Structure 1
């Protein structure tokens, strides 16, 4: 009987940790209980939400400035309460947005050389939410367009340049946990506390599709893939962590248990290789899978393991990778 191995260009992908002198040391990562990645990176800068007394702050480091970080390093410290989410603008490496417990979203401009003193004045403050803002996502194709979602169950899509609300959506019945734009920004997917997965057309404000996703009560995450497929991570009724793949009509293609750990899993998707990386808070492993058209559709490739548990996770855009060393994700 012949045994045929599945053909894949990425079957031998492996993870490799950088040497200690190329790492960042002595960073006081926030102890906030909010389920966010706490970290954002682009080819110029690394941003990490930090512990701060009397308000919310995050630090900005030039990517090449590795080694031990001083305790009195300048911070971005304009929020009155804890910072919950940070996202770099995909069209401008010097612009970062932050969402906070103080009900505001602020947009900051970082000088090319990094911060030399505390930055307290944003270029834009977006005020509309009545409760804390836990979620922001830049539009993938339109410049200066930012989505924010908060605990008031409202979604606002902003023109950051003029501080105007372009679109106001009140279609979510419960707390939004995660948002993901599709490839061209024509649709946006949400997971909510009511355990449902929704696809929303932001221009008409209509819920295009909705479906019960993971049955567990803990937070679930979603990411839009190519061909308008969706990939979600969440928990089963028995609190087992699981991932699932859905088509554009939210019909389930596959669902698979991972393990019994209790940390939220964040998916990071690479559309060029069609690979997905699953990073869990408190985990010591990063798992990677390949998405294909053939059953079982989500193929296990390998996992990278370390001795230190993860506190925050960020994915470098392709522009910042060392392709000469065949690096496909960092």
Structure 2
């Protein structure tokens, strides 16, 4: 039998010992078809079980071993967390999607959590039903895609908390994936269709029949314009397919794998065009190479373990050990609470940097701002060499600048209420002052229990409160003036 040549033919997966993994994690019991785990070069994040709300664990990569039961969590959602995603341009920023219909963006303190984090940097609120999927834009700064059970996909500008685009779908979206420069995204739906959308306008560019089975299909957009999907046949066999983004009337390649019932997650390495398939409830990881030669998707090998997987995380190339010829690292969640670390390496005798294994990879520097992207500009990711290892650029904390809102034109009532409150507070602290004049040499009788020191303290607090309220009122008045100026200018233009 003819064996196709490939430098990835002998990719070797070897799980690390238990004390080099992350153990004793209370992994969520949610039945939603999500990966439950995401990793980047600094942290591993796992969605956890939480009473009365939703939370997830964030652990620095170096803190391996047993995770304490009282470890701090990110816990601000009012219902279960369904998906999490690290920002590709800032390793301290993570997005979470929840059944409470919101997306929250979190800034993890340098070095990891020392106490539970309950206040997000920004809440993104637009979905009317649970949010099941979040994906960051690969090249534009602070652009995020979210998909929800209200049959809508939103494209957000996280830096302003605004919706850039709202896309209506005919059915529940299951999975979405941006193409290499983020100008388009592919999406699977509950109606079994596979669609490609213009990410900026929301126009549907292509539509295909997708997988015939009723169970959820997953999708990943490949670097060369092809689309790789996993799903089920009409007979409930698990299968994968390769599609051409320009013609989705039928797949270029489709193959059955087995009769297992777990959803299969495709993990894509764009640098070497490899796809790893990890199924829910599977004890094995299959990997393939995608090329221009038929049959296009070439089976390479299978990593076999003893325990079934519950979720999976995939390390970006920036976090790999290039000195050991490590080309992938998968974080596999077990039902026992273990997050197992599985590095995949290509055996090489030379200790020199292997250029063919490590072509330039996307860096953590965004190519565009959100405003540039939405204005119509596209750009490929900024690439960087991994020779000598990757050094992250310094990132500033995520700052959210809210746009002015027409509701901010209500400060007059607020200021009236504040002044009324200040007067009431003053009346409560000070004794009643008589309107009749008192001769200076006459004794003034003070109420019983009157303490001048307490009054002075209360007066100081009151002055500080009044000053802060005055600053707030001045700021509001300036914003109102700016809004009125903009409105008058727009009216002049319209005339």
Please give the range of the TM-score, normalised by the shorter of the 2 chains. Answer: over 0.9
Q: Are 2:302 and 1:308 equivalent residues in the alignment?
A: no
Note if contact 1:86-1:99 (Cα within 8 Å) is conserved in structure 2. yes
More displaced stretch, 266-275 vs 243-252: 243-252
Structure in which a larger fraction of residues adopt strand: 1
2:103, 2:157 → 1: CA distance?
12
Alignment-derived partner of residue 470 in structure 2: none
TM-score relative to the length of structure 2:
0.65
The alpha carbon displacement at 1:4 in A equals: 4.4
1:214, 1:154 → 2: CA distance?
21
1:101, 1:155 → 2: CA distance?
15
Deviations 1:225-267 (A, max 9, x none): 1221000000001100000001112241110000000000000
Alignment-derived partner of residue 30 in structure 2: 32
1:5, 1:116 → 2: CA distance?
53
Note if contact 2:85-2:94 (Cα within 8 Å) is conserved in structure 1. yes
The alpha carbon displacement at 1:5 in A equals: 2.8
The alpha carbon displacement at 1:200 in A equals: 0.3
Alignment-derived partner of residue 234 in structure 2: 237
1:215, 1:73 → 2: CA distance?
43
Deviations 1:110-156 (A, max 9, x none): 01111111100000000000000001100000000001110001111
Alignment-derived partner of residue 55 in structure 1: 53
2:312 aligned counterpart, secondary structure:
coil
Alignment-derived partner of residue 327 in structure 1: 326
Note if contact 2:133-2:146 (Cα within 8 Å) is conserved in structure 1. yes
Note if contact 1:129-1:150 (Cα within 8 Å) is conserved in structure 2. yes
2:51, 2:307 → 1: CA distance?
26
The alpha carbon displacement at 1:298 in A equals: 0.7
The alpha carbon displacement at 1:6 in A equals: 1.4
Deviations 1:5-51 (A, max 9, x none): 31211111111101121011100110101100000000000000000
Note if contact 2:165-2:201 (Cα within 8 Å) is conserved in structure 1. no
For structure 1, which runs of at least 5 residues remain unmatched after alignment?
none
1:236, 1:169 → 2: CA distance?
28
2:18, 2:166 → 1: CA distance?
46
Alignment-derived partner of residue 209 in structure 2: 212
Note if contact 1:187-1:200 (Cα within 8 Å) is conserved in structure 2. yes
* Misfit runs of 4+, over 3 Å: none
- Whichever of the two has the greater Rg, that structure is 2
For structure 2, which runs of at least 5 residues remain unmatched after alignment?
330-495
The alpha carbon displacement at 1:204 in A equals: 2.2
1:31, 1:120 → 2: CA distance?
21
1:319 aligned counterpart, secondary structure:
helix
Give the alignment partner of residue 195 of structure 1, picking from 173, 192, 214.
192
The alpha carbon displacement at 1:287 in A equals: 0.4
Note if contact 1:14-1:303 (Cα within 8 Å) is conserved in structure 2. no
Alignment-derived partner of residue 20 in structure 1: 18
1:75, 1:299 → 2: CA distance?
41
1:329 aligned counterpart, secondary structure:
strand
Note if contact 1:278-1:286 (Cα within 8 Å) is conserved in structure 2. yes
Structure in which a larger fraction of residues adopt helix: 2
Q: Equivalences for 1:277-292 in 2 at 5 Å?
A: 277-292=276-291
1:70, 1:138 → 2: CA distance?
30
Q: Are 2:303 and 1:271 equivalent residues in the alignment?
A: no
Alignment-derived partner of residue 95 in structure 2: 97
Note if contact 2:182-2:199 (Cα within 8 Å) is conserved in structure 1. no
1:91 aligned counterpart, secondary structure:
coil
1:183, 1:9 → 2: CA distance?
24
1:133, 1:150 → 2: CA distance?
4
1:229, 1:37 → 2: CA distance?
23
Note if contact 1:55-1:82 (Cα within 8 Å) is conserved in structure 2. yes
1:85, 1:234 → 2: CA distance?
19
Note if contact 1:95-1:108 (Cα within 8 Å) is conserved in structure 2. yes
- Residues 4/280 of structure 1: CA separation in 2 closer, same or farther (3 Å cut): closer
1:324 aligned counterpart, secondary structure:
helix
